[in-house]
Amino acid sequence: MKGAWPEADTRIDTAEYLAAGTQAPAGPPGVSAPAVTLPAHCEIVGSMRHRKGVDGQNYALRFHVRLPEQWNGRLLFEGGGGLDGNLGSALGMIGFTKPPAISEGFAVVSQDSGHDARANNDPAHGGDAAFGFDPQARADYGGASIKPVALAAKALAERFYGNGPRYSYFVGCSKGGQEGMMAAQRYPTLFDGIVSGAPGFSLPRAALAEAWDTQQFAAVVRAKGEQVTPATLTRSFSGADLDLVRGAVLASCDADDGLRDGIVGAFRQCTSAKVLPELKRLTCGGAKQSGCLIPAQVEALERIHDGPRNSRGEPLYAGFPWDGGWSGRDWRGWKIGAADGSMPSLNVAMGSIALAAVFSTPPTAPQDRLAYDLGFDFDRDAPKIYATGGAFRRSAWQDIGARSADLSAFRRRGGRMIVYQGASDPVFSVTDTLNWWDEVNARENGNAAQVVRVFPVAGMNHCGGGPSTDQFDAFTALLGWVEHGQAPDRIVAASAPGSPWPGRTRPLCPYPSIARPKSPDADPENAESFKCVRS
């Protein structure tokens, strides 16, 4: 590779040939996941842009590439997650039930987004969020790392195989979905096709909603006469309470898609005017008891649905739609923590430190994350996500926000994008995503579907889970669109074994269409009984 790197300081740190049959874990470091069997390939770890940050820490941009012996001529960039900081698997996890992309002949690249979650971990600066104290590290995390890594991987493929990739793809969910959006908007020539799941393209604003939601659940705790702690926050809603909420939403809106089946397919039509009377019907007449909700619980849900606002009533982020997945384990885990107390609220554990150290200027590192959320002032503190100052000449929103409706350059190069998201995503609002698509559609004079299609998944939580049909293959649909011009008018999805309806299949429809039964006696378990109809 000497002289062939796009950036001269790039180097290979390790390179190893792995014979066919090698086992590799499918999940990120520290996450238990079944191993996958790999084909013969060359595994490479490289790095570039070695530097010392303004915070005194040593940084580098590291990347991970797998080059299979039997190459199909395609490159896949695998997106990251959370606060990033690890190399990723470079396996190409492209579907809920599909083998990794490397097994299908793809060259795959992943990256750490410009910081190391272990080496750059400083407890005094928020642990693995400490990179937020360095402007360049924040920008690299936001998306500036995507282009140099993609170009390095393409250069490696060209030298290894004798020619570059015929097609280049990006796949990611959550923070990875944000990276896919960033690529389409700021680096539109890099990829032919992008799958962006649960896109965190409004990450700093979504972090405001995390603090807002925590304050609403804390109000429930206080209404019960308890002190707000991580444990009492978890108990603000019992499992039975959330089942009541789900039941109220279904009673109010389940039939709006033409079939009462436990799925709120027309969730955009599920308004507070429909749901709140049902929730208030379930309100306790006196003290809290099983089978009813106290008024503070109903008020908290209403405020979460409406989304964060400042004292002038101005919205700071989109609200969360009423949907049947508000009782899902993942929804609960993000909002208030696991029911058994084994995991605290992710909104607090991850969201608060990200908001303070990465999404605000100047960055701070509160030692008590729950206290930080409870004391967050939406007039005083929310504007910090747009602020600059000191070494930070760009705001967190400029570095990390990827919500531009301008996809014209991506369209001109022939790019195609599929976006999917759960209607009960607890951390990134599907309402924000659909509003964005409406803005793209207006800019494209009603032709946004020629470039990007959004597939909402009723009941699904963050990237999966919830009472939903969350098993589907968006990547194969993208390949057909990019390489054969077959724009996806539906994607068939199935329910997981642990869902309320194991094996049920349904079409996921591109917004603004929804799945409706073809006839009054349609089989609710079979996707062929439904058609996508503009809502």
Q: Active-site residues: which are they?
A: 174, 425, 462
Distance CA 263, CA 424 (A): 11
Is 87:113 a contact under the CB 8 Å cutoff? Answer: no
* DSSP per-residue string spanning 172-234: EETHHHHHHHHHHHH-TTS-SEEEEES--TTHHHHHHHHHHHHHHHHHHHHHTT----HHHHH
Q: Is the peptide bond before 165 cis (omega within 30 degrees of 0)?
A: no
**Please, what sign has the CA dihedral across residues 179, 180, 182, 187?**
positive
Q: In 10 A of CB 52, how many CB atoms?
A: 10
Amino acid at 33: A
Secondary structure, 3-state, 58-94: EEEEEEEEEEECCCCCEEEEECCCCCCCCCCCCCCCC
Structure tokens at 511: 């917004």
Q: In 10 A of CB 367, how many CB atoms?
A: 9
Amino acid at 11: R
Structure tokens at 376: 């967050």
Measured CA angle at 300 (ends 277, 316), to 5 deg? 110
Structure tokens at 189: 């020539």
Q: Which residues contact 396 (CB under 8 A, 6 or more apart)?
A: 138, 142, 204, 358, 359, 360, 361, 384, 385, 386
> With the CA atoms of 423, 139, 26 and 173 taken in that order, what torsion angle do they form, in degrees rounded to the nearest 10?
20
Looking at 27-156, which runs of residues are DSSP E strands?
Answer: 35-37, 41-52, 58-68, 74-78, 107-111
Measured CA angle at 265 (ends 264, 266), to 5 deg? 95
Q: How far apart are the first and last CA of the chain?
A: 54
